[in-house]
Chains A and B, each alone.
Chain A
Amino acid sequence: MKTFLAWLLWLWIAFTIVAAYLFTPAMEGFVGGGESSRILFFHVPMAWTSFVAFLAAGVWSARYLWGRRDRRHDLAAAAAVEIGLVFCVLATLSGAIWAKVEWGAFWNWDPRQLSITVALVYYAAYLALRSQVADAEVRGRVAGAYAVLGLFVAPFLFFVAPRLAAFSLHPQPVVNAEVLTGREEVGMDPAILWVLLAGSVGFTVLFFWLHDLATRAAVIEDRSEAAA
């Protein structure tokens, strides 16, 4: 990433952090006079970024499987899953801490808690699968097919499964609720909405930067292992 763009990202996320605490109102109906709702600015972008990462892993894997079997594509898919898992764990932990504050327990068998945990297990299994196959070509094919399947599994777990449940403690998705349900549910303060979107964009760009670095490091490691 060019130095200028990197510093722009620093500024963007720093501004989002400051705005999340100081330029947005607390939402009504949450603990601490609504202050606990500020988790939204970090928890949602982290969950969103993990979803983007898992999709990216599927796309890189598809490029590997149906392209020229370039090992860099396979390594890029693995890097995307690794970083996606970090964001997914952070989203799950921050959600659990918030659940303790808001609902009284870290774990509540809420549909969203369940679906994100299944996503964690699914992609942790991807890494376990990779670690068990010694041959790089076979590993690329098997893990690639698994990650391509994830292109259907991840959207289901993140967006469909939680909505199939009859009851959820989780605050309803308010950004796109109107589009999904046809009802006018977009009641979010514009300042909150913009900071949330800014955070999501910032975290997504951060993911692609991390992914670039991780993939390049994996390629160097792969070359040195091949040369040894």
Chain B
Amino acid sequence: MPRRVFVTGMGIVSGLGIGLEETLSSLKNSRSGIGKIKYLDTVHDLPCAEVPLSEMEMKHLLDIPADKIVTRTALMAILAAKEALQNSRFPVKEGYRIAFINGTTVGGMEKSELYYFDFLENDTRNDYIEAHDCGSLTETIADYFGAFSYVSTPSTACSSAANAIVLGMNLIENRLVDAAVVGGSECITKFHLNGFNSLMILDKEPCRPFDATRAGLNLGEGAAFLVLEPEELCSQRGVEPLCRVSGYGNACDAYHQTASSPEGKGAALAMKKALEMSGIDSYSVNYINAHGTGTSNNDESEGRAIMSVFGDHIPPVSSTKGLTGHTTSAAGGVEAVISILAMLYRFIPANVNFRNQMPELSFSPVAEMVENVDLKHVLSNSFGFGGNNTSVIFSKE
């Protein structure tokens, strides 16, 4: 009998704001974090959703000395993980085996690209070399807390944070750890801003997920973590969980390095696997927080996949990337928090900027925020380049 695993705390920083309260307020007011780039030093004038804090400000919030070598991604992640741990009131110093799983792709790259030529030509920035690696980022965050007996860094592009949730679940289910802090972190870099731009999938305007006239995605940045604990530990600690992770699935689309198959094979497989594991049928899903990047390809592919899994009973669907931007490796974490907030506060966040029905799809997304809804089961999708598709289901109990 598999262990039942619950979410007992969460934390988030993103274009929606710092912390759960600001995030909830932004969601309920459909206040988008997408706007002009303020912190990244780039020639491009593309709409992005940056975390509304400079590194100095983040260091100040965390009592980290201004001259300490820490990357932007690490600072975001520490803020989010700190909130998650505080939120869960998990007794970190009492000898429990806790895992820290952080999905990321850029790691400390926003510094490496800034100091790349210094690395080659002089020794003035060498301290940042070590900070580059993804694994190094995870360790830096873990070191801040000094509480983790196991750390790991899944790196599967835009499904990284969702896969971090899956790995955390696996570790707890197999009794290898007592609890896990799972999620992802990513800051915007010139590297991937230019990369996505060269693929011509960035919209020069705020993105329009699931809209027939959609023209691409907007990049976002952020960090978000969940604290996962098995049922026995929750009872033992007398803590009221926020929700349960009832199912998850990962499948490969096996179609193209970066594009999704037209019928969304991998996406459909991932959703089906998650449903199977959770033991609920497709009629029981009350809301889908879609991957919905706003690219021509994803939204059609994911839309078709949703149709194939849910047939004539498609639940309300919305993509919140019109509010947060596409936070890439952190998306699975950011959107997990959004999904859980939706469940706890009984609302469906808006799929903003939607106006025109996609002719290929039998459903339209939820264009305006809806309140007073009873969400028992929420499905969250995160699909990464390489055809790496993950779906996670959060349930009230």
| Pair from one complex | no
Binding site for B on A (CB under 8 A): none
